Amino acid sequence: MKQRPTQNLVNAFVRHTTGVLELNRPKALNSLNHEMVDIISDALETWRDDDSVHRVIICSSSERGFCAGGDVRSCREEGLAGDFDSGDRFFRAEYEMNRQLEEFPKTIVAVIDGVAMGGGLGVSVHGSHRVVTEKAFAAMPEMAIGFIPDVGTTWMMQRMVGECGEAIPELATFLGITGWRLTPADMLWSGLATDLIASEDVDRFIDTVIAESLDDALEQYAHPLDFVDAGELEGLLPDIRATFGHDSWAEIDHALSSHGNAAFVARVRELMAKSSPTSVVAAAELYAANREARDIAHALENEYALGAALRREHDFSEGVRAVLVDKDRNPTFEPSHTGDVDVDFYRTILKHR
Ligand code: QUE
């Protein structure tokens, strides 16, 4: 794909019988803005009912990664200038695109060679296939920026089934609240990834999907699990089940405090050291609500309502500042303890169960 550089933030074109969406905003690690979401949405709407398009590939023009998230830097700037409307419209459009992907009646293959966080998972988890390389990694890192896990992941990740063989809702809550960075093996085990190829084969893999079929391309290029190092996540499952299967942060926190495996608890506390207490409390409520949500549209509505509230709060501008603007990774969150967060305020926002 690297032979056709253009000015477009997403290159959308049909080759043979495959619709190709190539994310092309390399300087921002393909973080999604409103224009990119509109290009993807329009292409999906066209290709959905076009019988000459048999499948869709989502990939990156950049060797640096797949997609680092949403353009939260712009959201912060607009918010500081008193404009929350632009952010509202962006997130509405992004979540509508996530819903479109979830409903799309044809094969959608995301090719993930490098980072996939936040919005990058939103354009991949709702499709049928996520093909990862040994360079892939994934995370929901929103606790660090005073936001919440979104783009339909709080619904889909509680329901996906990987090599582990079952949906594990507590695992989704753990991943969202700790921001755990999943390795390729973790991704295949949990269901975030469906297939594994070598990074050096990405262009040939995509060309083969286009010239032949996904099955042929996987037959030629897929590797077994032992192509990558074993993941650590699977081994944490008993501890995760024992602690993260609750409907509020207060209960999860209590379970952690009385949990027998001190090394696991210390690990969780360390992963959460730079988290917004408000984000943590709100996220636990969101996972509980979306565990029961009747469909993805209701789940996205919960994410939207909660996210819209958080984007108007101090921790969002402070978190984005600390992680993405000044990059000092030293935010001052307020309140600074989860016990001082008004949980009822966030619980009330979540209407859909
Ligand atoms: C949480 C996030 C994002 C993040 C880090 C977080 C996010 C996002 C980026 C990002 C990373 C590299 C870039 C860039 C953006 O990082 O949404 O432009 O070059 O887009 O902890 O939600």
Q: What is the pLDDT of residues 26-81, one digit of tens each?
A: 999 999 999 999 999 999 999 999 999 999 999 999 999 999 999 999 999 999 99
Mean pLDDT, residues 135-141 taken together: 98
What's the confidence (pLDDT) of residue 308?
A: 98
* High-pLDDT (> 70) share of the chain, %: 98
Q: Say whether pLDDT at 104 is over 90.
A: yes
Kindly name the residue from 22, 150, 170, 313 that is annotated as catalytic: 150
At 353, is the pLDDT very low, low, confident or very high (cuts 50, 70, 90)?
low
127 in catalytic set: no
Q: Say whether pLDDT at 340 is over 50.
A: yes
Place of tokens 């509109």: 38
CA distances from 95 to 78, 99, 151, 216, 258 (A): 19, 6, 6, 32, 38
Give yes or no for residue 72 CB within 6 A of ligand 1: yes
Q: Which of 41, 37, 21 has the alpha carbon at shortest distance from 87?
A: 37
At 351, is the pLDDT very low, low, confident or very high (cuts 50, 70, 90)?
confident
Q: Say whether pLDDT at 4 is over 60.
A: no
Q: In whole angstroms, give the CA distance from residue 95 to residue 49.
A: 21
pTM over 0.95: yes
Check: CB of residue 112 under 8 Å from CB of residue 66: yes
**Ligand 1 test: best mutation among 117, 151, 329, most atoms within 8 Å of CB?**
117
Mean pLDDT, residues 102-112 taken together: 98
Kindly name the residue from 70, 79, 120, 162 that is annotated as catalytic: 70
Q: Say whether pLDDT at 250 is over 90.
A: yes
* High-pLDDT (> 90) share of the chain, %: 97
Q: What is the pLDDT of residues 188-206, one digit of tens each?
A: 999 999 999 999 999 999 9
165 in catalytic set: no
Atom 3 in ligand 1: which residue has the minimum CA distance? 69
Domain at 10-351: CATH architecture: Alpha-Beta Complex (3.90)
Tell me, in angstroms, the distance from the centre of ligand 1 to residue 238's CA: 31
Average pLDDT, the chain: 97
Sorted by where each begins, the domain ranges of the chain are 10-351
The C-alpha torsion from 168 through 166 and 119 to 199, rounded to 10°, is 130
What's the confidence (pLDDT) of residue 7?
A: 82
Q: Say whether pLDDT at 82 is over 80.
A: yes
70 in catalytic set: yes
At 5, is the pLDDT very low, low, confident or very high (cuts 50, 70, 90)?
low
Give yes or no for residue 131 CB within 6 A of ligand 1: no
Q: Say whether pLDDT at 246 is over 60.
A: yes
Mean pLDDT, residues 331-344 taken together: 98
194-204 exposure pattern, b = at least 16 Cβ within 10 A, e = fewer: bbbbbeebbee
Tell me, in angstroms, the distance from the centre of ligand 1 to residue 31's CA: 7
Give yes or no for residue 70 CB within 6 A of ligand 1: yes
What's the confidence (pLDDT) of residue 2?
A: 46
